């Protein structure tokens, strides 16, 4: 098949355009990586660079030796893993139940869940509730309040509705009860949506810092993002507030530290994507093809 000149020109322009778009997306990441490896003395005036300005691992050394970042990592990993497991499980069971027509009062349950999307109790009541449950400064405070999201439930619910009733009926005839049907028939068929929602929940937990603001007073229990936020915003604001400048500090500066912390904190969650990609793509296509 021969392409006309017009088509050739279009292809070339098309490729060029998307290469430029790609570079625009990649450059900020590239900039952070290079910045994190740079020598603090050379990056003071910022600007554009493609290779590290000087080479130094001092920023990574500072970040990885920082006890708060390490404890933040621990807290975030535990709450992300725990939150994802608990959250996905609770979301799936709730969604499955309200997807069944034979559940009495399911409209009421749906409405109550929907209601939380529109109105929430507010910060102080939520805080007082968590406090009265003695969950302050525990992992439960970081996990439970945000384990179930109404949005996720509705997404899963519409997925479950798409599973043919006949499958379940067949299982029932073979003697399965509701739990067996759910765990042995429905869940294995729903890997795609579980992966999608699970990843969604995991990213949410990974990026969460506000739960630490609300429910944590011990610094050892701060989530990673909270530690980073504090690390990055604190010094500069302190200087601005007090109107004084700062004293000389050797081989790292705020810029390189900032870049190194961002890289260190994004890599783990980025590393999860490739493993889930297969399911993720499937999840996105579910229902779009006649089956």
Partner 1 sequence: MRKLRKRKAVAALTLAAVMALSACSGNGGNGGSNGDGSGNADNAGNKGASATDAANGNNAGSTKEPLAISMALMAGPKTPDSWAEKTLESELSAKLQREVDVKPVFLPDWSELNTKINLLMSAKDTRPNILWTGDTKEFSKWVDAGIVQDVTPALQQHGQEIINYYTKETLFYHWDSSGKMYRIPGDVPEASYMTTILRKDWLDKLGLQEPKTLDEYVAVLRAFTNEDPDGNGKKDTYGLSGDNYYRSLTPFFYAYGIDVENFIKQEDGTVKFGSVMPEVKTVLELLQTLYKEGVIDPRMSTAANSDDEKVNDVFASGKVGSFYRFVDYFNPGNTAAVSFKKLNPDGEYISIDPVAGPSGFASDQPDPGIGWCYLVITDTTDVNGAVQVLNTMATPETFKLFTFGKEGEHYEMKDGVFTPTITPDEGNKLGLGNFGWYVQRKDAANIKNTEEVTAMFESKIETSKPMRDKIVVFKALNRPEWDKYSADIKKVRDELFWSIITGKKPVSAFDDFVKQYEKLGGKQIDEEAAGLFEKQQQEYVQYEAWYEENIEPFK
Label residues 234-256 b or e (16+ Cβ within 10 Å = b).
eeeeeeeeeeeeeeeeeebbebb
Q: What distances in angstroms separate CA 165 from CA 154, 171, 191, 193, 263, one per listed residue?
A: 19, 10, 18, 18, 47
Stretch that binds partner 1, among 78-86, 105-113, 154-162, 178-186 (CB under 8 A): 154-162
Stretch that binds partner 1, among 74-82, 112-120, 172-180, 237-245 (CB under 8 A): 237-245
Cβ distance to partner 1 smaller for residue 182 or 211: 211
Which x/- pattern over 158-187 shows residues binding partner 1 (rule: CB under 8 A)? xx-xx-------------------------
- What one-character DSSP code corresponds to residue 219? G
End-to-end CA distance of the chain: 33
Q: Considering CB under 8 A, how many residues would be counted as binding partner 1?
A: 85
Distance CA 201, CA 178 (A): 26
Q: What distances in angstroms separate CA 98 from CA 92, 119, 144, 154, one per listed residue?
A: 10, 21, 21, 9
**Location of structure tokens 């392409």:** 3
By CB under 8 A, tell whether 62 contacts partner 1.
yes
Distance CA 211, CA 215 (A): 6
Stretch that binds partner 1, among 3-11, 73-81, 183-191, 208-216 (CB under 8 A): 208-216
Restricted to residues 4-23, the positions that interact with partner 1 (CB under 8 A) are none
Cβ distance to partner 1 smaller for residue 180 or 185: 185
Please state the closest distance from residue 69 (CB atom) to partner 1, in A.
9
Please state the closest distance from residue 277 (CB atom) to partner 1, in A.
12
Stretch that binds partner 1, among 84-92, 109-117, 170-178, 257-265 (CB under 8 A): 257-265
Q: Which pair of structure tokens corresponds to residue 66?
A: 């920082």
Please state the closest distance from residue 111 (CB atom) to partner 1, in A.
18
Which of residues 254, 268, 276, 279 is near partner 1 by CB under 8 A?
254
Which of residues 30, 42, 68, 187 is near partner 1 by CB under 8 A?
68
By CB under 8 A, tell whether 203 contacts partner 1.
yes
Cβ distance to partner 1 smaller for residue 85 or 232: 232
Please state the closest distance from residue 241 (CB atom) to partner 1, in A.
6
Please state the closest distance from residue 222 (CB atom) to partner 1, in A.
8
Distance CA 60, CA 38 (A): 10
- What one-character DSSP code corresponds to residue 51? S
Distance, CA of 288 to chain centre: 26
Helices 224-242 and 191-207: angle between axes, nearest 10 degrees? 30
By CB under 8 A, tell whether 191 contacts partner 1.
no
Restricted to residues 84-143, the positions that interact with partner 1 (CB under 8 A) are 123-124, 127-128, 131, 136
């Amino acid at each position: 098949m021969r392409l006309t000149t017009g088509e050739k020109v279009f292809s070339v322009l098309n490729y060029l355009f998307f290469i430029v778009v790609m570079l625009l997306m990649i450059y900020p990441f590239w900039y952070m990586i290079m910045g994190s490896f740079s020598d603090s003395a050379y990056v003071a005036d910022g600007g554009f660079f493609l290779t590290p300005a000087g080479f130094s691992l001092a920023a990574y050394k500072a970040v990885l030796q920082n006890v708060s970042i390490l404890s933040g990592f621990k807290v975030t990993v535990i709450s992300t893993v725990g939150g994802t497991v608990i959250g996905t499980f609770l979301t799936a069971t709730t969604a499955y139940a309200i997807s069944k027509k034979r559940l009495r009062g399911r409209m009421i349950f749906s409405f109550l869940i929907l209601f939380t999307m529109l109105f929430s109790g507010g910060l102080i009541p939520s805080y007082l509730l968590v406090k009265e449950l003695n969950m302050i400064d525990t992992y439960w405070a970081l996990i439970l309040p945000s384990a179930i999201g109404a949005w996720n439930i509705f997404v899963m619910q519409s997925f479950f509705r798409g599973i043919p009733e006949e499958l379940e009926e067949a299982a029932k005839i073979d003697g399965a009860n509701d739990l067996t049907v759910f765990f042995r028939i429905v869940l294995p068929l729903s890997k795609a949506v579980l992966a999608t929602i699970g990843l969604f929940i995991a990213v949410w937990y990974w990026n969460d810092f506000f739960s630490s603001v609300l429910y944590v007073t011990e610094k050892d229990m701060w989530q990673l993002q909270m530690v980073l936020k504090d690390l990055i915003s604190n010094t500069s604001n302190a200087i601005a507030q007090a109107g004084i400048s700062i004293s000389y500090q050797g081989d790292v500066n705020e810029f390189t530290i900032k870049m190194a912390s961002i890289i260190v904190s994004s890599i783990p969650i980025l590393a999860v994507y490739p493993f889930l990609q297969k399911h993720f793509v499937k999840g996105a296509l579910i229902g779009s093809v006649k089956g």
